[in-house]
Amino acid sequence: MNMKQTFSTGEVAKLCNVSIRTVQYYDKENIVKPSELSEGGRRIYSQDDLQNFRCVCLYKSLGFLLEEIKTVMQSQNPYELLAKTIVSQKEKIDEKVQLLIHEKERLLALYEQIEQTGKVEVESIEDMENLLVKKRTHRKTDIITYIFMGCYILILLIIFPIANFLSGIAPFIMYGIAAMILIGLIYYHAEVNAYVCTECRQKFTIGLWNDMVSLNGMKKGKYLKCPHCNHRGWFKDTYRD
């Protein structure tokens, strides 16, 4: 007849990759208690005890609090309670992730400001939040610009083939509409964007005509002349103050 395998405190600690003091502490806190004690008072853990201990280590690695683990292990319906605990832990993690994303956003905003201007211009949390609002708004305007530009290209693809089959004043009206839409897009782009000179680090804006005739290098930005130091180069667009 095979006897069930048992484990000492040290063996449980080794198999679960924890310290002996951790095994003793979990016993003291009634989280995982040994099935029996030897005549000398030494803890003797069964295979079920070892499995329970491994479950506790798993829950601990997932960020559960010991009180939560203890409640689950002592529950009459552990899986239902475990599911609720998992949902609660997920919500905590989601909150931490959002906080980390916001913290990263702040760090990137400061880094970009130093890269552009050579200094930090925010002096308080309120200044930082205002800066983030401006940057988010600028990202939205960029997306809107690209969407409208895509729509404009689609309109051109429709207008020009149709205009070729028309006679009289109709084609000129259609070309005029296309030109007005393009001017409107350029005007919007000029009104919502600013640029920072890579030489003097000063921010400046440009008008409709300058925006219309200047070269656009896509990711490189626009090829402009800084009104402050007269430096010419590629400037990436940024938010307006």
* pLDDT tens profile 70-84: 999 888 888 888 999
Give 2's pLDDT tier (boundaries 50, 70, 90).
Answer: very low
Instruction: Give dist(CA 87, CA 68) in Å, integer.
Output: 12
What phi, psi does 27 have (nearest 5°)?
A: -70, -45
Residue listed under structure tokens 């006897």: 3
Is residue 54 scored above 60 in pLDDT?
Answer: yes
Average pLDDT over residues 61-65: 91
Range name among 1-5, 45-49, 103-107, 222-226 with the lowest pLDDT average: 1-5
Q: How far is CA 11 from CA 4, 152, 212, in A?
A: 15, 72, 76
Q: Is the pLDDT of residue 237 over 80?
A: yes
**How far out from the chain centre does Cα 139 lie?**
14
What gap in Å lies between CA 48 and CA 52, rounded to an integer? 6
Average pLDDT for residues 54-75, to the nearest whole number? 92
Taking the CA atoms of 42, 44, 49 and 50 in sequence, report the sign of the dihedral they define: positive
Distance CA 13, CA 22 (A): 8
The SS3 call for residue 216 is strand
pLDDT of residue 117: 82
Token readout for 208 is 């409709």
What percent of the chain has pLDDT above 90? 52
- The answer on pLDDT for 170 being more than 80 is no
**Average pLDDT of the residues in 49-58:** 94
Q: What average pLDDT does this structure show over 20-29?
A: 94
The gap from C-alpha 26 to its chain's centroid, in whole angstroms, comes to: 37
> Is 131's pLDDT higher than 80?
yes
Distance from C-alpha of 206 to C-alpha of 214, rounded to nearest angstrom = 10
pLDDT for the residue 220: 86
- Mean pLDDT confidence for 160-177: 77
pLDDT band at 3; cut points 50, 70, 90: low
Cα 38 to the center of its chain, rounded Å: 54
> Using CB atoms within 10 A of its CB, is residue 11 exposed (0-12), middle (13-18) or buried (19+)?
middle
- What is the model's pLDDT at position 69? 93
> Coil, helix or strand for 44?
strand
The pTM of the full predicted model, rounded to 2 decimals, is 0.66
Inter-helix orientation angle 170-192/125-164, to 10° = 170
Residue 176, pLDDT > 90, answer no
- The model's confidence at residue 18, banded by pLDDT at 50, 70 and 90, is very high
Q: Across all residues in the chain, what is the average pLDDT?
A: 89
Judged against a pLDDT cut of 70, whether residue 1 lies above it is answered with: no
**Tell me, which fold does domain 9-74 have in CATH?**
Multidrug-efflux Transporter Regulator; Chain: A; Domain 2 (1.10.1660)
pLDDT at 107: 94
**Model confidence band, residue 241 (pLDDT cutoffs 50, 70, 90):** confident
**What is the C-alpha to C-alpha distance for residues 116 and 199, in angstroms, rounded to an integer?**
10
